[in-house]
Structure 1
Amino acid sequence: MMADSTPLHLLQITDTHLFADPEGRLHGINTRYTLQTVLAAARLRPPPDLVLLTGDLVHDGSPAGYRALTAMLPQLAVPVACIAGNHDAYPGFRILADSGLRVGGTQTLGNWRIVLLNTQMPGSDGGHLQARELRLLSEALAQSPEPHILVALHHHPLPMGSAWLDHIALDNADDFFAALDASDKVRGVIWGHVHQLHESQRRGVRLLGTPSSCIQFRPGSRDFALDTRPPAMRWLTLHGDGGIDTRVEWVAQA
């Protein structure tokens, strides 16, 4: 495959937690308002090549919540790909797919392959990669002609240092990392779910947890606790040589 040195720009927005009710609130915060605030801030930047929505998009799983999301996203005027979180409902994801969003699977951008994994485990707030998702990952790693791969999932595959939150992490992270270790193409892994910032590396792979577009959780808390940080989104630049530049933008509320 011919190398493409053109940088690619991605925007990750996660854990929007919308409701059917436009006035729906999560721990006192109107989540439609915070998402609108984040989208307005994003429109002040050059448009990305792709927006990634990494789960918990609609808190109550309502069709009206997904329709509200599809009505808000055209503000960005760029392609959107999404994955489910533990609060999402798959009938709602059909609404997203019918509106032109990519739901799961893989997507090629330049010489990068984006792998979108479903970690939803019905009836649980925790996450699990079913055999079909592990197969999707392994096949993408083995067969992708693109030299660089970014993996997106909802649940965190490594501990955050919060006992309550780590109890609802990805429960087969060993299988996930075993698949990654079988390839030399993976450059980064991004996730949501944790409502806080995380950045580390493992065997040269960037590991990136992203704060929510609404409320944040207090890092390092043994029991559930909220932080005071504002809504956020993550910008990523994927370089032709496999490098990743990234920053989280915190968005002050009016």
Structure 2
Amino acid sequence: MRDDPYIKWLVDNLAKPGKSQSGLARHLGVDPSSINKVVKRKRLLKSHEVVGAAEYFGEDAPSIEAMPSATGGTVIAFRAGVVEAGAFREVDEFADNPFDETRQISVPRDPQFPNARVLSFDVAGDSMNDLKPRPILPGDQVVGVAFEDVADQIRMRDGMVVVVERARDGGQTREWSVKQVELYEDRTEFHPRSTNKRHRPIVIERDMQADDGTAVQVIAVVRRIINDIPLS
């Protein structure tokens, strides 16, 4: 299995005199357990954490072109979990080990965002079964680029299809769902496109708090839909 060069770089630098996991955690403003998970290869560094770690170490991070990828114009995508509107799950139910080879697939490299991390999600439910021009159906996989990796390259715009995370109970439960963006002067709305009218949009004000009190963030921009045809 290919290793993430950012993690090797982090581990090598933490071994230097005066550097420690707790010191890096304080510099980044995160819990030390978050750094320990990176060291143990249970999670990847986020893009802003790479920048902060470079400041802490006083050393440039590896070039993003060195990120692991498959050959032949493909990249490794991490199968992050299930997207299903209205289904809040305990955080422990979400996969958090991108180095588990059983949760990795190869997908074509995105020509517009060739260096962004790629995530795939298994679709459940009918909240996007009326999306135009192509519905997103139960059993599909949606493949997207990590939003934080491309946020400086694209603007949120009307019609964009995204994976949205809603968190509640102090972050202990989360919902991932696919939505289509509608932008207004004072708010952003994330809409289901469904024949099932029970699905409702997520409406957020400028502070990124949903109107029902849950915290909301975009975690991926959907770029591809995959559906394998069963043999029987």
Q: Which TM-score band applies after superposition, normalised by the shorter structure? A: under 0.3
Higher-RCO chain (CA-CA 8 Å, sequence separation at least 6): 1
TM-score by length of 1: 0.24
TM-score by length of 2: 0.26
